[in-house]
């Protein structure tokens, strides 16, 4: 409900008072009474626009000035202030004026009816030292709301409202279905490739026999002619490495990681169980090689040739024994 500014009506009322008091003109006038003392707290209000249009926001500010030592309580409406809707509100930094502390609070207001309106200030209560709470006189602020059509009577840019639009389609389900189909297609493609690869995969040839590899390495060592060059240590190191690698391939013995003693013990156990003669041959060969590599023994060319022959004979004899043992094992496990 809007509150309009009252029209001036004091003239008829004044005439009525004069007519009523005419007969007693000679009567003595009553003694003057003292006017009430002004309130110690002063409330004032202001707007940033004296004239606004319907639905236009404007700012209203209420200021409370009080002397030092006075407790001030300013009410805080949150929905409406007079005939206006409160859109926002807040406090400004306090200041001083004429020795008084000034507290300010602003409101963003909006109205939807035309005419002149009074904005009442929010209730303000105060307490003097040692006294009870009292209410300060309210302030009234005038604001005018005008129509846009009245301000622009020849406006031609007013159009009818648009028809309701269809809500946007939710594509998330379609995206999820597309992602699922893509994942299925990728899985099917990967499975097809694996199937084709398994079909095209060729049977890998069996590994070469260990004794063939060892003989090739022995031939390469002989072709280098290290004994003739006096490189006996390198010659014996390479020769023992060939034998140890051969045993590792043939009998699954980690020969390069063992000492000579550990290696001889390992060849007497498990699947690498060698005969006594082969272990003796291997022990003499490795012992002589250790003397050259670690004890600075100086062999002759004949010693080098004898070591080469021992290594070659060991490879040949163990290869023959192993192949015969494999044949016997196949005959033992063959179905009858």
Domain ranges of the chain: 40-149, 210-328
- Comparing CA positions, the residue from 118, 179, 178 lying closest to residue 145 is 118
Q: What is the pLDDT of residues 273-324, one digit of tens each?
A: 567 777 777 777 777 777 777 757 778 888 888 888 888 888 888 874 444 4
Comparison of pLDDT for 98 and 17, the residue scoring more:
98
Q: Which of 15-19, 172-176, 279-283, 314-318 has the lowest mean pLDDT?
A: 15-19
Model confidence at 247: pLDDT above 60:
yes
Q: Name the token pair of 332.
A: 């033992």
Q: Is 318 exposed, middle or buried (0-12, 13-18, 19+ CB in 10 A)?
A: buried
Tokens of 262: 């550990």
Report, as an integer, the average pLDDT of 6-22: 33
Regarding pTM above 0.75, the answer is no
What is the model's pLDDT at position 156? 62
pLDDT for the residue 16: 27
Query: What separation, in Å, do the N-terminal and C-terminal C-alpha atoms of the chain show?
Result: 114
Instruction: For the chain, give the percent of residues with pLDDT over 90.
Output: 18
319-336 pLDDT, tens digit per residue, is 744 444 444 433 433 443
Question: Per residue in 74-91, is it b (16+ CB within 10 Å) or e — as a string?
Answer: beeeeeebbbbebeebee
Q: What is the pLDDT of residue 262?
A: 67
Asked if 299 contacts 286 with a C-beta cutoff of 8 angstroms, the reply is no
**CA–CA distance, 121 with 141 (Å, rounded to integer):** 8
pLDDT at 13 over 70: no
**What is the pairing mode between strands 42-47 and 115-120?**
unpaired
Mark residue 55 as left, alpha or beta (left: phi above 0; alpha: psi -120 to 50; beta: remaining).
left
CATH of domain 40-149: 2.60.40.4100
- Write down the pLDDT at residue 9: 32
């Amino acid at each position: 409900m809007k509150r309009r500014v009252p029209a001036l009506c004091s003239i008829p009322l004044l005439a009525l008072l004069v007519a009523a008091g005419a007969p007693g003109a000679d009567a003595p006038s009553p003694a003057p009474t003292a006017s009430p003392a002004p309130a110690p707290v002063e409330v004032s209000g202001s707007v940033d626009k004296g004239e606004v249009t319907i639905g236009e926001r404007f700012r209203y500010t209420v200021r409370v000035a009080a002397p030092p030592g006075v407790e001030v309580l300013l009410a805080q409406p949150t929905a409406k202030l007079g005939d206006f809707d409160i859109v926002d509100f807040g406090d400004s930094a306090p200041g001083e004026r004429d020795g008084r502390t000034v507290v300010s609070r602003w409101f963003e207001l909006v109205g939807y009816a035309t005419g002149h309106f009074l904005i009442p200030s929010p209730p303000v209560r105060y307490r003097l030292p040692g006294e009870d709470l009292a209410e300060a006189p309210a302030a009234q602020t005038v604001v005018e709301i005008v129509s846009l059509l009245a301000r622009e009577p020849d406006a031609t840019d007013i159009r009818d409202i648009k028809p309701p639009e269809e809500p946007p389609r939710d594509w998330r389900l379609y995206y999820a279905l597309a992602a699922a189909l893509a994942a299925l297609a990728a899985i099917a493609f990967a499975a097809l490739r694996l199937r084709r690869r398994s079909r095209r995969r060729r049977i890998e040839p069996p590994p070469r026999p260990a004794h063939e590899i060892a003989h090739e390495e022995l031939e390469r060592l002989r072709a280098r002619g290290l004994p003739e060059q006096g490189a006996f240590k390198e010659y014996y190191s390479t020769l023992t490495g060939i034998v140890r690698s051969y045993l590792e391939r043939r009998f699954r013995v980690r020969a390069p990681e063992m000492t000579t003693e550990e290696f001889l013990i390992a060849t007497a156990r498990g699947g690498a169980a060698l005969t006594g003669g082969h272990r003796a041959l291997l022990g003499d060969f490795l012992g002589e090689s250790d003397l050259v590599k670690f004890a600075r023994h100086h062999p002759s060319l004949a010693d080098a040739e004898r070591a080469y022959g021992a290594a070659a004979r060991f490879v040949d004899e163990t290869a023959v024994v192993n192949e015969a043992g494999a044949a016997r094992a196949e005959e033992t496990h063959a179905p009858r």
